[in-house]
Chain A
Amino acid sequence: GEDVEQSLFLSVREGDSSVINCTYTDSSSTYLYWYKQEPGAGLQLLTYIFSNMDMKQDQRLTVLLNKKDKHLSLRIADTQTGDSAIYFCAEKDDKIIFGKGTRLHILP
Chain B
Amino acid sequence: ETGVTQSPTHLIKTRGQQVTLRCSSQSGHNTVSWYQQALGQGPQFIFQYYREEENGRGNFPPRFSGLQFPNYSSELNVNALELDDSALYLCASSLGLSTGSNTEAFFGQGTRLTVV
Contacts and interface: CB of A to CB of B under 8 A. Distances in A.
B109 A42 contact: yes
B33 to A, nearest CB: 7
Contacts of B56: 94-95
Interface stretch (B11-19, B40-48, B77-85): B40-48
Contact of B98 (A43, A48, A96, A98): A96
A45 B104 contact: yes
B2 interface: yes
Contact of B100 (A30, A43, A88, A99): A30
Interface residues of B, number: 27
Given A41-B109, A42-B109, A30 B102 contact: yes
Interface string B77-116: 0000000000000101000001111101111111000000
B58 interface: yes
B90 A42 contact: yes
Contacts of B2: 42
B99 A93 contact: yes
Contacts of A44: 107
Contacts of B100: 30, 93-94
Contacts of A45: 104-106
A44 B108 CA distance: 9
A42 B99 contact: no
B106 to A, nearest CB: 8
A70 interface: no
Among A41, A44, A92: residue with most chain B CB under 10 A: A92
Contacts of B43: 43, 88, 96, 98
A4 B107 CA distance: 20
B45 A92 contact: no
Interface in B57-92: 58, 90, 92
A94 B45 CA distance: 11
Interface string B1-45: 010100000000000000000000000000001010000111111
Interface of A: 4, 30-31, 40-45, 48, 50, 88, 90, 92-101
